[in-house]
A and B are shown apart, each in its own frame.
Chain A
């Protein structure tokens, strides 16, 4: 693990270009949630030339389908889902200015290539640590696709939301480099 960095959304090219794989980042500000079904709807809107329910420019999308909130809590457990299911949609959103994705698990080469091209990063949240991560989410509000239930798009207000840089804007991949470093095969 290299640096510990605090960032506030929306993110600029400069914000993401200084990040390197293995950096621990604490995110503050607004982020949006989206999983498979929501991504499909967003990208369908783009191909129809219609407006998205939120402006993705400079934004970060968190791949999560949270558990229901208990009374008095903003959100239930909220750890990341596996990201490859969003690979088909991610480059389109990066082209529109999305700067970050939060999830877990490997990305396709074309997604990593798009991160280089459009200056965006892929951030890993600790899968399965849903109760811990929920502590850094201060507010949650459904802004689109309520019919999708846990998959609806939510606007989250986060404080010191902990992530690790998995893919940076230079094409590096922590999953590849990390395994290489500790492999004893």
Chain B
């Protein structure tokens, strides 16, 4: 049994949200470069160059890439041999979010659904907890913006539609979303589980690095095909037209009920921010 102080969790969460909002991964920067090189539209190239320059400025000034610094989604893999002392686990994470969004000059976007009154400190965090073997705590921070999230869907498909039905649903979703989610997008896809599980799978899929395929060849082929079909829609960066509409598509698949084919499509913008740390 290893003891971890709740303050330590707060400190790590605070740092992860500040840092993750001010940079993106090298995998994504390489995807911007590929788009600049290959897109057939001059305006698309120009937009992608702006995005690259934007990241450079954000890194240099240590300021947020995008003003929408998101709701604070946190995936936690908690080792079962960890004992948290000196405070509550959930409170510790929320305190980290509170401090990070204040100290990092990040926008607070959390509000009451009906009065629309801003909560003021961007809490509560959306926490997805998994208990794993060991005595470590892995924390993954995903600041999730609203524009792309609004284009996301969960659909309980009829099993008879199979993989073709899954592919068609995703491509149509992106076609209907058009310019709204800040393309080029990244698409997290959850398949299987239940209504809520498929959505969490879709969200978690967004943590994968651009270019990394699902280990199952059948699923990997489907990822490639959906990516290609979305890029043929012509939407382009910011929807101004072009051949770079999507950077990658990630499927995460789990067994489901014999009556169901749950599908979650979580749309992410080109500023796919996420960062992890292990305590």
Residues of A within 8 A of B (CB): 1, 22, 24, 36-37, 64-70, 76-79, 81-82, 84, 104-106, 124, 126-135, 148-151, 162, 164, 166, 174-175, 177-185
Contacts and interface: CB of A to CB of B under 8 A. Distances in A.
B243 A182 contact: yes
Interface of B: 40-44, 46-47, 50-51, 53-55, 57-58, 61, 63-69, 105-109, 116, 118, 120, 146-147, 150, 178-180, 182, 232-236, 238-243, 269-271
Contact of B50 (A104, A132, A148, A178): A132
A37 B107 CA distance: 16
B42 to A, nearest CB: 6
24 contacts: A65-B67, A76-B107, A77-B64, A77-B107, A124-B179, A124-B239, A126-B50, A128-B182, A130-B65, A130-B66, A130-B68, A131-B55, A132-B50, A135-B57, A174-B239, A174-B241, A178-B41, A178-B43, A179-B234, A179-B241, A180-B241, A181-B234, A182-B236, A183-B234
A82 B180 contact: yes
A175 B178 contact: yes
Contacts of B180: 82, 84, 104-106
A70 B63 contact: yes
Interface of B: prevailing SS: loop
Given A106-B239, A182-B242, A131 B63 contact: yes
A7 B61 CA distance: 29
A126 B234 contact: no
A185 B43 contact: no
Contact of A175 (B63, B105, B150, B240): B240
Given A76-B63, A77-B64, A179-B234, A67 B106 contact: yes
Contact of B63 (A67, A82, A104): A67
Contacts of A166: 240
Contacts of B178: 105-106, 175, 179
A120 to B, nearest CB: 19
A40 B67 CA distance: 22
Contact of A1 (B42, B63, B118, B233): B42
Nearest first, the 7 A-B pairs at minimum CB distance are: A178-B241, A183-B234, A182-B234, A127-B182, A132-B54, A105-B180, A129-B54
B241 A131 contact: no
A185 B233 contact: yes
A132 to B, nearest CB: 4
A148 B66 CA distance: 19
Contact of A82 (B40, B108, B150): B150
A149 B121 CA distance: 11
Contacts of B109: 65, 150
Nearest to A75: B67
A131 B58 contact: yes
A76 B22 CA distance: 12
Nearest to B269: A128
Contacts of A65: 67-68, 107, 109
Contact of A127 (B46, B242, B269): B269
B239 A175 contact: yes
Given A82-B147, A179-B178, A1 B43 contact: yes
A27 B231 CA distance: 32
A145 to B, nearest CB: 12
Given A76-B63, A131-B65, A182 B238 contact: no
B234 A129 contact: no
B50 A129 contact: yes
A84 B236 CA distance: 19
B40 A182 contact: yes
A150 B67 CA distance: 10
Nearest to A66: B67
B41 to A, nearest CB: 6
Given A175-B240, A178-B239, A184-B243, 9 more contacts: A64-B67, A67-B63, A70-B105, A128-B54, A129-B54, A131-B54, A131-B63, A179-B241, A182-B236
